Structure 1
Amino acid sequence: MKKKRVICAMSGGVDSSVAAAFLKKRGYDVIGIFMKLWAEDTGQKKENICCSREASTAARKVCQKLDIPFYIVNFAEEFKKAVVDYYIKEYEEGRTPNPCVICNRDIKGQILMKKALEIGGDFLATGHYVRIIKKGNRYHLLQSVDKIKDQTYFLWTLTQKNLAKMLFPVGSFTKLQVREMAQKWHLPTAERKESQGICFIPDRDVSGFLNRYAKKLTKKGAICDINNKKIGIHNGLINYTIGQRERLGLGGPKSYYVVELKVEENILIVGDEKDLYKKKLLATDLNWINKPSKNIGARIRYGHPIEECKITKIDRGKTTVTFQKSQRAVTPGQSIVFYNQEEMLGGGFIAKNT
C-alpha cells in the first residue's frame, strides 16, 4: 500500500522538527517545506524571525537527519499583502491586530495548503499545539495536552475543509515531552530557543515599524480623561492600544490607562484601571468550525482565561457577546475565540466593546 504523503511545515524550531520526525516514525512519506516570508528592507540585517538563514539552516539539517526531502518556497509577496499590509491597516483604523491569526488563515490555511496538495501531499502538518479528532463526518479542534502552550486561539479561522487535510502531531504532548523526543532522536534543533514576538518586526520595536509605514493616525493630538478634560498630548494614535499604561507622557503620581481611541477626533481617552472593564462586545467576521453550544466560554486574547459568556442571535456574521464577569481591556482588532470545555468552536474579530 502506498504511504500517505505529509507535507510538514518546517520553521527550524523544535516543535515542527519533532512533528516531522514523529510522522516519519509513524510510517508517513514526509516532505519538509520551509516558507520564505517578507522581511523589511532597511539596509540593516533585519531578517524575519520565522524564516531567517539560521532558521532555514536548522530546518534543512533536521530534514537531512531524518533523510526526507526539503524544499523552500518563497511566499514573501503573498505574506506582505495578506499579513503585513493588514497589520498596518488595522493600526491605521485604531485597532490592535493579531497577525498570527491572519497568517494561519491566509498563508498556512490557503497558500501553503494549496502548495502541499500541488506537490502530491495528502496532508499538511504543522507544529501547532492543538489536537484534532473526527466524530462522524465532522472534525473537532481541541486544546493541546499542554494548556500553557495551547495554540487553538490562533486557529479559529480554519474550516472543516482545512481540518480534513491537516495534522498536528505535537498537540498530544507537553513541551517538555517534545524536547525530550527531540533529544532522544538527536534532532539538531533539540536545544534551539523559541522565537517570540512578531516575526516581521525582529527588533520588537512596533512603534518604530508603524511610524515608518503607517500613513494615518500619526499626528499628535489631545489626551483626555473620561470626562473629556484635556490632560496631555499624544504622539499619534497609532502608538497606543487599549489597556496601555506606559509611554503616555503624563506626569504625576496617578496611573492612567488607555481606555479608548477616538479615531475621528484624534483623541486618546485615558482613565483608571476600573474603566477598562467591560461585560459586552460586538464580534464580527465569525467563523464556526462547529456550532456553538449552550455552555460556551470565550477568551479575548492569547493566554487569557476562558470565561463564561452568552451570544445573541448571529446576524450576517456578527454577534453581541455578554460575559458573566467583566473583562479587562477588551481590544478592537483582537480575536474573541469560543470554547466548549476543551473544544475550540470558532471565533471572530472584536469590533468594539460596550
Structure 2
Amino acid sequence: MDDVDFQLGDALTGKRIVVAMSGGVDSSVVAALAAQTGAETIGVTLQLYDHGEATGRAGSCCAGRDIRDARAVCDRLGIAHYVFDHETRFRETVVDTFADAYLAGQTPIPCVQCNTGPKFTDLLSLSRDLGADCLATGHYVRRVVGPAGAELHRGADPARDQSYFLFATTQAQLDYLRFPLGALPKARVREIAAELGLGVAAKPDSQDICFVPDGDYAGLVRKLRPEADTAGDIVDLVGRRLGSHRGIIHFTVGQRRGLEIGGTPEPLYVVRVDAATRQVVVGPRAALAVAAAQVTGLNWIGGDHDGAITAKVRSMAKPVPARLDGDRLRFAAPEYGVAPGQAAVLYAGERVLGGGWIAATEPALAAAAAA
C-alpha cells in the first residue's frame, strides 16, 4: 500500500519486523503490510490474562478470543506467531497500580502504564532478542524523522490520535518503533483489512481499559482492595459536612453524578478527593478551574525545543497554551478537569515533546485571591 511507510530504508532484503499483535484490526493490518514489504515478519502477542479468565472475554485486547484471532491472521499471512505469558507482570505493573491509584484518590491512566511496561519495554526486549530491526505497532501516532532524529507526532486522524497515551515513550524506544497507521484514518485501515481478506476487518474496537470490560472500575478495585469501601464524608470547600459516601473509589475530580446532595443553590462537582481523611470535597464548577499543576516523572523527547508549548491534561481534551517551569506547569488560562493521577502531555504543534504525571494542582480561585 502506497500510503504506508515503515521507514526501514530502501533495501528490505534481510530485514526482520516484529509486530505487536493484540488480535484487533489495527495490529492485524500492520502485520499484513509488514509482510508485504518483503521483510521477514513475526507476530507477537502478550497474554495478559489468566487463560481460563481470558477465554471468551470480549471487549478487551490480548485476551483468549483475541489471541486466536491474531494466530488466524498470521496463519493467513504465512508468518510466524508467538504468544508470551505476561499475566503476572501485567497484574503487578498495571492492574495493581490502577487499584492503588484509586485508593490514593487519584484518577489513573492504565493504558500509559501498559504501554510503558508490557507493550513497549517488554516487547522491545523480546523483539531485540528475536533479532528484529524494528517493532511495529497499530498505534495511531506518527514517527517523523527530523534533523535530530526520530520525533513523535500526533496521529493524522484527530479522532484516533493516541499520542496522549504514548508520552512516556523514550528516545531510544522511538528510534526502534514504527507506527505505520499514524497517517491513516480508521476507515481506511478497515478498508485495507477487507481488501486483504482479513477476518478481523469488521471486528469492534477494544475498550479503553481492557481489564474492566464492563466499565465497573469500583467493582474491580473493591475486589482487589477490600478496604476500598470504607465510608467517609462529603464536605464543601470550607470543610462543612454535606453528606456521606460509601468509598472514595466511587469518585473522581470533575464528577457531578452520584453525590446525592440536594438543596444546594447550584450544581456541585467533585473538586478534590482526600485519601488521608477519606473526604470527598465538592464545590461549584468555578472551583474546578486550575491555574497550574505540579508535574512529576517528566519524560522529555523534544530535543532542544524551548519555544511555545501546549499541554493536554485529559485524553479527550484539546491542547491549551501553557508554560513549563521546572516541575510547574502553568496554564495561560484556567483549565478544567485537571486531576492528580492523570498525565500532562506537552506539544509543539503536532510534535509530542514529552509529558509527566499530575501530582497536585493549584486552584485558579486561590491563585486569584493571592494575586
TM-score scaled by length of structure 2: 0.89
Question: Partner of 1:268 in structure 2?
Answer: 280
2:351 maps to 1:340: no
1:263-312: per-residue Cα shift (whole Å, max 9, x none)?
22221111111211112111000000124432100100112101000111
Q: CA deviation at 1:170?
A: 0.5
User: Which one of 253, 256, 260 corresponds to residue 249 of structure 1?
Assistant: 260
1:206 shift after superposition: 0.5
The answer to whether the Cα contact below 8 Å between 1:243 and 1:329 also exists between their aligned partners in 2 is yes
Distance in 1, matches of 2:28 and 2:49, equals: 22
1:259 to 271, 279, 282: 271
Alignment correspondent of 1:112: 123
- The verdict on how the C-alpha distance between 1:5 and 1:60 changes in structure 2, with shifts beyond 3 A counting, is same
Shift of residue 331 of structure 1?
Answer: 0.4
Per the TM alignment, residue 238 of structure 1 is displaced from its structure 2 partner at its CA by 1.9
Which sections of structure 2, spanning at least 5 residues, go unmatched? 1-10, 363-371
Q: Which residue of 2 aligns with 1:298?
A: 311
Contact 1:39–1:200 (Cα < 8 Å) also in 2: no
Q: Residue 58 of structure 2 contacts residue 65 of structure 2 at CA under 8 Å; is this kept in 1?
A: no
Q: 1:311 aligns with which of 318, 324, 343?
A: 324
Q: Deviations over 1:211-249 (max 9, x none)?
A: 111255531111111122111001111221101111122
Over 3 Å counting, the alpha-carbon distance change for 1:52 and 1:169 in structure 2 is same
Residue of 274, 277, 281 corresponding to 2:293: 281
The match for 2:218 among 197, 207, 228 is 207
AA in 2 matched with 1:306: P
What aligned pairs does 1:214-229 form with structure 2 within 5 A after superposition?
A: 214=225, 216-229=227-240
SS in 2 for 1:268: strand
Q: Against the structure 1 CA distance between its residues 215 and 53, is the aligned structure 2 distance closer, same or farther, given a 3 Å change threshold?
A: closer
- Matching of residue 132 in structure 1 with residue 143 in structure 2: yes
1:28 to 24, 30, 39: 39
Give CA deviations for 1:106-141 in whole Å, capped at 9, x if unaligned. 112211111111122121111000111222442100
Task: Report if the CA contact (8 A) 2:127-2:134 is conserved.
Answer: yes
SS at match of 2:107: coil
Query: Offset of 1:181 from its aligned partner?
Result: 0.9
Change (3 A) 1:57 1:186: same
AA of the residue aligned to 2:146: K
Deviation at 1:48, TM superposition (A): 8.1
Give matches, 1:34-49, under 5 Å: 34-38=45-49, 49=60
Q: Secondary structure of 1:51's match?
A: coil
Which of 175, 181, 184 aligns to 2:192? It is 181
Aligned position for 2:27: 16
Q: Deviations over 1:12-46 (max 9, x none)?
A: 11111111111122222111111100359889975
Query: 1:137 and 1:327 mapped to 2: Cα distance?
Result: 33
Change (3 A) 1:108 1:45: closer
Q: Distance in 2 between matches of 1:47 and 1:170?
A: 24
SS at match of 1:132: strand
Change (3 A) 1:189 1:48: closer
Q: Secondary structure, in 3 states, of the residue corresponding to 1:302?
A: coil
C-alpha distance in structure 2 between counterparts of 1:199 and 1:76, whole Å:
13
What's the CA shift for 1:329? 1.6
Alignment-mate amino acid for residue 190 of structure 1: A
Residue 204 (structure 2) aligned to one of 184, 193, 202: 193
Secondary structure of 1:231's match?
strand
- The whole-number CA distance in structure 2 between the counterparts of 1:44 and 1:33 is 18
In the alignment, is residue 156 of structure 1 matched against residue 167 of structure 2? yes
Contact 1:48 1:200 in 2 (8 A): no
Alpha carbons 2:43, 2:81 under 8 Å: kept: yes
Cα contact 1:145–1:171 (8 A) shared by 2: yes
- Normalised to the residue count of structure 1, the TM-score between the two structures is 0.93
Q: Which amino acid aligns with 2:66?
A: A
Name the % identity: 35
Indicate if the aligned counterparts of 2:311 and 2:319 stay in contact, CA closer than 8 A.
yes
For 1:65 and 1:293, locate their aligned partners in 2 and report how far apart those are by CA, in whole Å.
Answer: 49
CA contact (8 A) 1:39 1:48 kept: no
Q: What CA RMSD, in Å, does the superposition of the two structures yield over aligned residues?
A: 2.0
Aligned equivalent of 1:234: 245
